[in-house]
Amino acid sequence: MLKQKGSALVQILLLSVLLLNVIILSLTNHINNNKKLSKITENTDLRAYEVAKAGAVEALAFFRRQTTQPVTAFNPTSNDSENPTIGIVRTIEIFSRTNRLRGRYEINRDRIQDVSSFYNKPPGTIWAIYSQGSIIRRETNKVISNKTIAFLI
């Protein structure tokens, strides 16, 4: 009878260790998947920010290219933008291991404003500009990250 009681205890202990190992392995897998997902999200957020910065540089170049200074009207043409009715818009390819991403920046004409009077300057001297950068998945055309930066020119 003693042998039966001891063997049951050993079997329960082995079963407990096996169950604990399964739980530890599944939690480790879950943690690793979350790390990968957070790294991907962080990477696309950083890329969206960089695309927004590219839009900011493009907006600055637009104002510098104008023949009449200071610029009193924000009117991009088809040479300045893919869609001048929105404002300054560009789509760029983003090279990654999978090459499945595109970036797009927009300087929307509805969100840009001449703030010169606020600073007691002549019209067209100081502009408040918002540049929105987006990362888009090519296959689905779904936006996976957006970042907007604001600045004064």
Rounded to 5°, the CA angle 52-58-62 comes to 145
DSSP state of 8: H
pLDDT tens across 94-116, in order? 876 666 889 999 999 999 999 99
Q: Three-state SS string across 128-151, please?
A: EEEEEEEEEECCCCEEEEEEEEEE
pLDDT at position 19 over 70? yes
Classified as helix, coil or strand, 86 is: coil
What pTM value is reported for the model?
0.71
